[in-house]
Homo-oligomer: A and B are copies of this chain.
């Protein structure tokens, strides 16, 4: 049977106080409405998103996993559905959801569909906590003595006993598609003062025909709408908890799940361990036995089995080889590919850098636009001078090379296999295999001259020398 999920995402979301449309605010790596789309798909429904405010931006961000309809003006929920009518099949069931309810689960929508049967409209409801009842502005579901759904009454129109009803309309519906689109929508009447069309009138029409149903969901929190950034943070925390719980049950150790930030698109493996404050964004993949130390931040990075990322390391678009160690406080940028057992240490930055198996770059280096052969040792303070102010150039370093500390390799340049670069050298021309390259001044010691210099410096500073 055809099931379509119409997701209403045309509003601006004024209370977000943002230049970004509300439905695009990110939650664990996805735009808010992507979560609703995925829930719909997970329930077997094809999503169609109604866009309006910044329509093109929303459409681009949500991608081609959904159909789209344009609601150019925002004139009510009924109007939103009407705007999408051409994009909707007449057969089967039409789910209607808001794009700002990111916590709704596929199984919840599945339960709504299962409960729909041959009703014209089925409302997904939940229960208010007793203390929320008096203040709530939600429409209440009125049931008859046998517990059958009779109608939804808006809070403003509710009688005093009806106002005590705890079961409320979540705004998520299943409709008989043909009936809604062809019979009800064309007959909707605008409501003063703004002339909006209300989808709740369709609920009323189903009730009038005695074919209204309600499915009550036990977890009201899951149906929350996000209207401001406080609610956004609550939704983020809920999704984070859900993601983290799943990974823990799959064999991942999170030292503090409250401070592990794992995006929806990340893939982890058993015996991965994440320290506190770790942020994994985008399409990270961490293989078996990988350890990520405290406060490391990885984006779109692949870490092979048994590798260790030490605290405070930042990686973007990198690939870390098996049993490699990176950090602490290293920074791997896009195009970094580290081989097996490579070691990249503190205060080292790599970019478009391929380091073959066993390479060590342990301290204070910049390796950009470079290939380093196996087992080469990069001394502390080594810089590949890849930029000349106009273009980027390549540095090729062979296997088994020893680059002394504080060396500068001015690209384009090639250092042959087995070469030795003396500490402090500036290398501007190619170094043959097995050669020793020096490019530095010769040391001179000037006896007793320190005192003389100190006196000069002290005088300059208006101080007495030591």
Contacts and interface: CB of A to CB of B under 8 A. Distances in A.
Interface stretch (A4-12, A191-199, A336-344, A451-459): A451-459
Interface string A432-466: 10111111111111111111111001101111011
21 contacts: A15-B249, A19-B270, A20-B271, A233-B256, A276-B277, A295-B297, A310-B314, A314-B328, A328-B331, A363-B366, A363-B383, A379-B383, A381-B381, A388-B402, A418-B451, A422-B426, A434-B448, A434-B450, A435-B448, A436-B452, A438-B443
A453 B436 contact: yes
B457 A388 contact: yes
A320 B442 CA distance: 37
B259 A276 contact: yes
A436 B425 contact: no
A282 interface: no
Contacts of A259: 256, 258-259, 276-277
Interface stretch (A118-126, A171-179, A403-411): A403-411
Interface of A: 15-20, 25, 228-230, 232-233, 236-237, 240, 245, 248-259, 261, 270-271, 275-277, 279, 289, 293-295, 297, 310-312, 314, 328-329, 331, 345-347, 349, 363-366, 377, 379-381, 383, 385, 387-391, 393, 400, 402, 404-406, 408, 410, 418-420, 422-429, 431-432, 434-454, 457-458, 460-463, 465-466
Contacts of A365: 364
A380 B390 contact: no
Contact of A364 (B19, B347, B453): B347
Contacts of A293: 297
Contacts of A385: 379-380, 404-406, 423
Given A435-B448, A436-B449, A271 B380 contact: no
Contacts of A379: 383, 385, 387
Contacts of A276: 259, 261, 277, 279
A295 B229 CA distance: 20
A450 B349 contact: no
Contacts of A256: 233, 236-237, 240, 259, 261
Contact of A349 (B240, B248, B364, B408): B364
A457 B229 CA distance: 49
Contacts of A420: 449-450, 453-454
B466 A400 contact: yes
A259 B460 CA distance: 49
A377 B364 contact: no
Contact of A441 (B258, B418, B440): B440
Nearest to A246: B230
Contacts of A445: 429, 431-432, 435-437
A448 B435 CA distance: 5
A364 B390 contact: no
Given A271-B18, A314-B329, A439 B442 contact: yes
